[in-house]
């Protein structure tokens, strides 16, 4: 067990001032949520904005609304390598997962397989995921999906603040979602956002969201206590402590479709105060760290032309299994924040055996075996980058 400075794999720090804004919002209730909604509508220039308890709750509610509009369809196309919350949300919505293999260079769909995966009239929606903040080709997916009457959900859970050709990520799909969890581009401790310019879908979403329970006073107090803990324990000088507590299961990836569907709490809406400035500041810090990694010899992941990503992690493929294991072990011992992220392709998730469809996904399986992510959050220093580069040099010898 390491005791000492330890980098979290991802972080979106907030301040004590923002936590206190959340506490104040517990006493003002709906006004904090309405302010946040209004700011999001103006910033993203969309008419329909909904605030949920988490990103996966947002995705599940989107799928429920789409299902009401097209009840004859029951499958959702997802990348074969993605965050486990995506197939968990599909399952939570009572739908079936259909996976499609990916391109390891972009972590986006393998476009040679998408057309066939969309065919058949059973696919309700296709999820275009900006994994780690890398922009996916949403427009290309929309062009293919339109031929089959399939809605495109832009999964920007990990990409808030990114841009493509001057357009904000989160405005490219038929409907989009963000996550406000602790390791995302912007954190309010927890939370999710839905954006759409589609009036028919917006009406269906409004009906569903109004029926969801809100978070009570006790939930707000717990969120306040959790925020205070994060304020301290996410700092590298203290992060070794929660990492050492095995029951917290930090770093573990779990498939769990039993999560709550709730509206965003007033505390979280209060923590969001000043979110635009914070989002820009965090993005610039991450771009700076990504630049340091590039100078240290790491290849910048290929992004679409015209992209300005907000990377929350820097992905690197390490094909040598022994070298990869050594890197992760050394990082754990030195507290450098490397992570293996999602251990299986979607087809390999045990709970989905016999319940998911889709062809073979050898590339996604290879990515699951070889991917390592490097931290790029504001707590990463130049010295950290030098140490990480040294780990890779040692692992290659």
Do residues 195 and 284 share a domain? no
**Alpha-carbon span 344 to 377, nearest angstrom:** 25
Average pLDDT over residues 270-274: 97
* CATH number, position 78: 3.40.640.10
Average pLDDT over residues 5-11: 96
Do residues 53 and 180 share a domain? yes
Read off the pLDDT of residues 298-337 as tens digits, 9 standing for 90 and up.
998 887 778 889 999 999 999 999 999 999 999 999 999 9
* Domains identified in the chain, total number: 2
- Structural domain includes residue 180: yes
CB 234 within 8 A of CB 26: no
Tell me the HSE value of 347 on the side-chain side, using a 13 A CA sphere. Answer: 18
Q: How confident is the model at residue 249 (pLDDT cuts 50, 70, 90)?
A: low
pTM of the model: 0.96
The boundaries of the domain holding residue 158 are: 16-211
From the list 177, 184, 191, 178, the residue with the least C-alpha distance to 22 is 191
* CATH number, position 310: 3.90.1150.10
Do residues 114 and 33 share a domain? yes
**Alpha-carbon span 56 to 259, nearest angstrom:** 8
Strands 175-179 and 307-308 come out as: unpaired
What is the per-residue pLDDT for 389? 97
Do residues 285 and 149 share a domain? no
What is the per-residue pLDDT for 250? 63
DSSP 263: B
What is the per-residue pLDDT for 304? 72
Q: Does residue 130 surpass a pLDDT of 60?
A: yes
What is the per-residue pLDDT for 29? 78
Do residues 61 and 178 share a domain? yes
Q: Does residue 228 surpass a pLDDT of 90?
A: yes
**Distance, C-alpha 186 to centroid of its chain:** 10
Do residues 142 and 244 share a domain? no
- Structural domain includes residue 186: yes
Tell me the HSE value of 113 on the side-chain side, using a 13 A CA sphere. Answer: 19
- Structural domain includes residue 306: yes
Strand order from edge to edge, sheet including 167-168:
167-168, 163-164, 307-308
Do residues 45 and 137 share a domain? yes
CB 155 within 8 A of CB 149: no
Do residues 284 and 318 share a domain? yes
Do residues 285 and 201 share a domain? no
In 25-181, at which residue ranges do the beta strands (DSSP E only) sit? 48-52, 75-79, 96-100, 102-103, 108-109, 123-129, 151-155, 163-164, 167-168, 175-179
Q: How confident is the model at residue 184 (pLDDT cuts 50, 70, 90)?
A: very high
Do residues 35 and 154 share a domain? yes
- Structural domain includes residue 365: yes
- Structural domain includes residue 2: no
Do residues 53 and 139 share a domain? yes
- Structural domain includes residue 264: no
Tell me the HSE value of 231 on the side-chain side, using a 13 A CA sphere. Answer: 15
Better pLDDT: 366 or 300: 366
Do residues 303 and 199 share a domain? no
- Structural domain includes residue 158: yes
- Across-strand partners of 103? 108
- Structural domain includes residue 325: yes
């Amino acid at each position: 067990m390491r005791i000492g400075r330890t980098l979290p794999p991802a972080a979106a720090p907030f301040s004590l001032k923002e936590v206190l804004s959340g506490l104040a919002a517990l006493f003002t209730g709906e006004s904090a949520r309405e302010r946040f909604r209004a700011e999001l509508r103006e910033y993203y220039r969309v008419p329909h904005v909904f605030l949920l308890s988490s990103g996966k709750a947002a995705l599940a509610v989107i799928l429920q609304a789409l299902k009401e509009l097209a009840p004859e369809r029951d499958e959702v196309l997802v990348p074969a390598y993605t965050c486990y919350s995506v197939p968990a949300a599909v399952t939570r919505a009572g739908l079936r997962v259909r996976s499609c293999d990916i391109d390891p260079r972009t972590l986006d769909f393998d476009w040679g397989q998408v057309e066939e995966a969309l065919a058949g009239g059973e696919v309700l929606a296709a999820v275009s995921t900006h994994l780690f903040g890398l922009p996916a080709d949403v427009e290309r997916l929309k062009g293919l999906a339109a031929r089959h009457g399939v809605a495109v959900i832009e999964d920007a859970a990990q990409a808030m603040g990114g841009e493509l050709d001057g357009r904000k990520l989160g405005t490219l799909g038929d409907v989009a979602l963000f996550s406000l969890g602790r390791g995302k581009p912007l954190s309010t401790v927890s939370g999710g956002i839905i954006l759409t310019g589609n009036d028919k879908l917006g009406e269906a979403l409004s009906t569903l969201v109004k029926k969801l329970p809100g978070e009570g006073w006790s939930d707000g107090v717990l969120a306040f206590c959790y925020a205070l803990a994060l304020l301290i324990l996410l700092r590298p000088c203290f992060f070794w402590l929660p990492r050492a507590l095995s029951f917290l299961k930090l770093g573990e990836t779990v498939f769990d479709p039993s999560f709550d569907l709730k509206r965003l709490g007033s505390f979280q809406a209060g923590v969001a105060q000043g979110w635009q400035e914070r989002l820009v500041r965090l993005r610039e810090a991450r771009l700076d760290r990504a630049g340091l990694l590039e100078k240290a010899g790491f290849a910048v992941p290929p992004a679409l032309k015209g992209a300005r990503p907000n990377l929350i992690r820097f992905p690197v493929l390490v094909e040598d299994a022994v070298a990869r294991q050594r890197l992760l072990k050394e990082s754990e011992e030195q507290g450098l924040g490397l992570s293996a992220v999602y251990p299986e392709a979607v087809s390999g998730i045990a709970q989905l055996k016999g319940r998911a469809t889709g062809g073979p996904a050898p590339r996604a399986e290879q990515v699951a075996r070889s991917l390592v992510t490097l931290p790029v959050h504001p707590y990463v220093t130049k010295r950290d980058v030098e140490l990480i580069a040294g780990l890779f040099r040692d692992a290659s010898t």
